[in-house]
Chain A
Amino acid sequence: MPKMFSKTRALETILRVGEMLANVAEEKGLREMVVGRGELRMLLNRENRRGKSLLTLAIQRFAASQMFTTPRWTLEVADPVKPLLIYRKR
């Protein structure tokens, strides 16, 4: 099982997923979304990528907070083991 070693990369992975979700929410005109692992798999595992697994790794190993707040959105980690995220526009 590969491991993620870098804190910076972990944060970057989480922020990228947040940005992706922000784009999806904007397209659909939503202010709040609950994103489960099925949706994450669809979003992140295109072309045989392992994006969902990497996100899980980043959340489990590095997440100090259950809440990631940026000026545009907040991302709440409801379940770090089987990733369940709650996206909210600010």
Chain B
Amino acid sequence: MAKIRVLVADDHTVVRKGLKMLLADEDSVEIVGEAADGQEVLDKIPETKPDVVILDISMPKISGIEAAKAIAQQYSSVKSLMFSMHNNQDYILKSVENGASGYLLKDTDKEEIMLALQKVSQGDKYFPPTISSVFVDALLGRSRGRASARGNDDTPLSKLSRKERQILTMIAEGLNSREIADKLGLSIRTVTNHRANMLRKTKVKNTVELVRIAVEEKKS
């Protein structure tokens, strides 16, 4: 049987090293590469050709969730397995919504990591029992706050990240990119990127249109 090719992405060396050592004596698994942030993951996929990417959520540049989304879009044969400290609903659901095939907490033991790698590499989903209950809760609507908090999921604004919404609010208040950059402690380039991404995500022609939608949604 071919080995499962695994790319490990975490901004902490100790975690990458730990995972590598833990999986080193497993004949069915081969660590084909490491990445320290979301961008590096995307850059390394073509050369390393992994079956599964183990992704941390909080990483610099591109977060694990955003990376999972990009992987699902660009490399449909590569599966994302989240490996995170975050044990609550929002991170788990957001990961799954963005194409993750599995979600493990960082205190998971080796057997469970192996099981998850096997399942996910075969094209199945894998969630440990503690996490599965999150889906049931969400289905049963115990998360009323969440549903209404995010508004109608079909609106263009629901596609924006939190940071993007924050920037959009500032644009609506009449701030320019430099002022926004100063206020948020970002570079102008990052703000400009966010603006471009907002237009791409919402498929709206220009920022004026986007601000109009934002203002209307706020009224409703």
The answer to whether A binds B is: no
